[in-house]
Structures are given as C-alpha cells and as structure tokens.
Amino acid sequence: MAKERLYLFDTTLRDGAQTNGVDFTLADKLAIARMLDELGIDYVEGGYPGANPIDTELFSKPRPMRARLTAFGMTRRPGRSAANDPGLVALLAAQAPAICFVAKSWDYHVRVALETTENENLASIRDSVRAAKAKGREVLLDCEHFFDGYKAKPAYALACAKAAYDEGARWAVLCDTNGGTLPHEVERIVGEVCAKIPGDHVGIHAHNDTEQAVANSFAAVRAGARQIQGTLNGLGERCGNANLVSIIPTLKLKAEYADRFDIGVSDEALSHLVRVSHALDELLNRAADRHAPYVGESAFATKAGIHASAIVKEPKTYEHVAPERVGNKRKLLVSDQSGRSNVLAELERVGLAVDKDDPRVARLLDEVKEREAIGYAYEAADASFELLARRLLGKVPHYFDVEKFDVNVEQRNNAKGERVTVSQAVVKIKVGAEELISVAEGIGPVNALDLALRKDLGKYQSFITGLELTDYRVRILNGGTGAVTRVLIESADETGDRWTTVGVSANIIDASFQALMDSIVYKLVKSGAPA
Ligand SMILES: [Zn+2]
C-alpha cells in the first residue's frame, strides 16, 4: 500500500525565538535553517519580516534551500484593503516561496482583541490569501486559538479555516495557542474539521502547556491532519512548542506511523538527530537535556545490575528502539550499585574487553565503590570512569605532569575607575624533559585555570585544539566530616563527541582541576596521542 505523505513544519526561528533568553543573530538563523534543511524538514519558518531588522534582512534576498522558507505575518488589518496595509505589503515583498498568515479564529478574540466583526475578519483572511496567491506564494493560515475558538463557537472557527482553504491556501493550521487543549479534545475537533476540509490540507500547531504538545500532534494526525508544526528541542515561549526531535523518531520508528506515512527525513538524516539537537543547545549556550527522549544522554542508559546483564545479552529487553537509529548510544552506568556485568559491558563498549574472571575487574569495582563513597559520580562521568579503568589496566600513557599551579583572584579598580574582579592562573607543566609555564586570565578562577592548562601542552598541543568545555556543574555534598565539592565538566571536540569528567575535593579549585585534567587526558587518549 502506498504511504501517505506527512509534512513537517519547523518554527524554531519564529515561535522558538519567543523563548525567554533566546536571541538569534542572522548567522544563527541561517545556520539553523541549513541544519533543518539537511534534516529533511519540509517548511522552515524563518521569522516575521518587518517585525525586526534581523528578520527583515533574512527575507531581503533569496536563501536557496530544498525546504520551503516561510515568512510569517498578519492578515490585512480590518478596514483596510490588502494593497493599503503596509504590514501585508512588506510581507508580500519577502523573498520566500511560502507565506504563513496568522489570523484570529476565536469569535471572542475577534471582538475584543481585534475590535472588528466576524465577517470583516473572514474577509481579511480571504483577501490576504488571495493577495499572496496572486504573488505566486504557497500560502498557509495559522488559525490562532483555534481549539478554544472551536469550543466556544465551532461554526465560526471552522469558517475561518475554510475561508483560507476555499481561497486556495495550501494549509489551514489549527493552533492550540494557549496550549491547554487535551489530546482527546484535539482528536475529536480535528476529526470534525477534516470532515469539512481534506486532512491533507490541515496542520496542527501545538504548545506544551500541559506537557502534551507531542501527544496532541499525534492525536491530530490520527484524526486526519497531515502537517505537524513544531520546533527543535521543543523551544518556544512559556513551556515550548511540540518537540520535533521527539516527533520525528516516533514517526520514523513506530510502526503505527512508519507503516502509514512518509516524511522528508531519511534514515540517514535520522541517524544525525542527536547531533542536530546538541547543535541547537550549543548555539543557545545551554546544556543538553540529559533526559530528553531519544536524544538525551540518559535515553538509553541502564543502571541496575540485572537489567544490565539482560541488555548485554539482548538489547531489545530494555530498549524500545535501537539507539543508533537516532545517533545515540547504549550506556551502562557504572556506580556503587552496579554488578560485574555492567563493568564488563562498559569496558567492552569502550574497547577494553577483559576476561570476566580477570581479578582486575573486581579491583576496578572496589575502586569505583570506594571513590563513589567519597563523592565521585561515575555514572554521570563516563570519561573519568574510562580513564580509571584504563589506568588500572595500564593503558593510559604518561603524557605530562603538572608541577604546580597557582590561581589568583583579585578585585581592583580598572583604568576607568570601575570595580572589576580578575582571575589569573599560572600553570607549570613538564612534558618529557621540557618545562612549560603558561599564564592566562579568565572570567573566573576555573576558567583561568582551564585556559592556562590548555594553552601550551608542548608536543601534545595539536591533539587538544578542538577541545572545548560545554558545561560545568558544581554540587556541594555534605559528608560526615564537612562539605565536599563535586565538579562535573562536560567537554566536546571537533568530531562532535561529548564526554563528562568528575573531580571531588574539599576545595572547588582542586575538584575542578581534577575534572579538567581528566578531560584533557581523555581527549589525548581518544585522539591516539603517542606517549
Ligand atoms: Zn505558537
């Protein structure tokens, strides 16, 4: 049986840009658009030309891509003609093959927010769609507050969507703007709409205010809608939009959808989903959500001993899909609760296969337990665990020694008479017979120490140029004899690999130093740096 085509519409650059603390530059927007295009998204909504200089510039010239770049804007204002509305004229001038209009579809909003009549609002929808069609654009209509509007006055909400469809809009998109609609309501209402407008012209735009935006999107598809709107990592104002990073693998890997629908995302593109999700976090300077479905670091992590031994024998026992399909990996967490099978499996995964009766396995397990008792957390620090294991098995070359370091924090007046705090670190290391001294200033003591440590590693410098710290987390643990500090550092390199290292000490600088050192040594091991 031929599969039906289901379309994906991304609004990371428009609705996602409404997120608190998110501020895309033009370069950011172009980079994200390229990423979405490579992923196989059908429509990339770039922004709102005329609303701000960046969006205006984005649409000032053609941006060739396979996906349809979409400009967003309002339908013509009440009481004006399409030609006499400067906002609409600017939108029609945007260099984009598709235009997505937003219009009210809740009678209450038409009266109160728009202060016009229901008929004038319908005329505005028809005129705007017609004007954009006349310019050769593909047209979408976002029916704002559609579900609330439908509950209040179904005939009117439907009339708004139908006006756009009848005028030739490719899509009427039903928006759950306040995000409060529940999946069974979405399914019922979309089903009723699809009896009047063919489902292959109906889209769903769900917000996540009850944490059901993904479920609502699927409910709409079950009821007949054939376009899903959402954002990368569920970015969006308040609680976010429907998360395409969760929706895409479900569409590709769950038989109910995979057997019925084709989407623009290939198997190959799907296998890069983790990278795409992390790239957005990186750009936003945010730590990745470890527990994100499909793409989180913990999405395929197993801790308890019996689960782990089963997973090694037959992964399907505890995994709903194969992690490689989305570019993720299976992980067996090593902690004081773990059995021998976790440790063996984790050693095998990192390429350190040893015999199960090797006495060093028991020693490693004891070592992990002892260190976790004083605050180390190996299940969160895979790279530190690997180094611990490699050291025990004698497989970490001796690269360099840190003879001493000195970190200094000073508060003083700068040349302008402003009070500033400056951190400086001096690190003295020995690489073979060579002694190297590096000095660096940083925005804090740990940053200064990191910069000084990585400034000059002599003959190893070329191996760490792509190394970068992506997250730094500190926790104060209350032990029996006083507080200890645990530092977790996440690093990434030029290949897109990420790893986490841990340090524990009563002194935060010392704990950070351990985690930084582990990260550097891990990178050297990983890059095959010679001893
Ligand atoms: Zn929205």
Distance 15 CA to ligand 1 centre (A): 6
20 burial (CB, 10 Å; 0-12 / 13-18 / 19+) is exposed
- How many other C-beta atoms are found inside a 10 Å radius of the C-beta of residue 358? 14
pLDDT tens digit sequence for 48-88: 998 899 999 999 999 999 999 999 999 999 989 999 999 99
What's the number of CA atoms in the CB half-sphere (13 Å) around residue 474?
A: 14
Q: Are strands 68-74 and 468-479 parallel, antiparallel or unpaired?
A: unpaired
Cα(172) to centroid(ligand 1), Å: 14
Other beta carbons less than 10 A from residue 124's beta carbon: 28
pLDDT tens digits, 11-20: 999 999 988 8
Q: How many angstroms separate the CA atoms of 351 and 517, rounded? A: 22
* Range of lowest pLDDT (98-112, 216-230, 481-495): 481-495
Cα–ligand 1 centroid distance for 276 (angstroms): 22
How many whole angstroms from 120 Cα to the centroid of ligand 1? 24
Average the pLDDT over 350-369 and give the result.
85
Instruction: Kindly report the number of other CB atoms within 10 A of residue 490's CB atom.
Output: 23
- The CA distance from 358 to 363, in Å, is 9
**Minimum mean pLDDT range among 46-60, 275-289, 411-425, 457-471:** 275-289
Task: Kindly indicate the confidence band of residue 239, based on its pLDDT and cuts at 50, 70 and 90.
Answer: very high
pTM for this one?
0.79
Q: What spacing in Å lies between the alpha carbon of 143 and ligand 1's midpoint?
A: 10
% pLDDT > 70, the chain: 96
In this prediction, residue 359 carries a pLDDT of: 87
Q: Calculate how far, in angstroms, residue 227's C-alpha sits from the geometric centre of ligand 1.
A: 14
Q: How far is the CA of 47 from the centre of ligand 1 (A)?
A: 12
Distance 176 CA to ligand 1 centre (A): 8
Q: How far is the CA of 92 from the centre of ligand 1 (A)?
A: 21
CA of 271 to the centre of ligand 1 (A): 28
Distance 480 CA to ligand 1 centre (A): 50
Distance 212 CA to ligand 1 centre (A): 14
Ligand 1 center to 285 CA (angstroms): 23
Higher-pLDDT residue of 159, 495: 159
Task: Please give the distance, rounded to the nearest whole angstrom, from the Cα atom of residue 145 to the centre of ligand 1.
Answer: 9
* Neighbour-count burial of 433, counting CB atoms closer than 10 A to its CB (0-12 exposed, 13-18 middle, 19+ buried): exposed
**CB-based contacts of 223, cutoff 8 Å, min separation 6:** 186, 187, 188, 189, 190, 191, 194, 199
Residue 54 CA to its chain's centroid (Å): 22
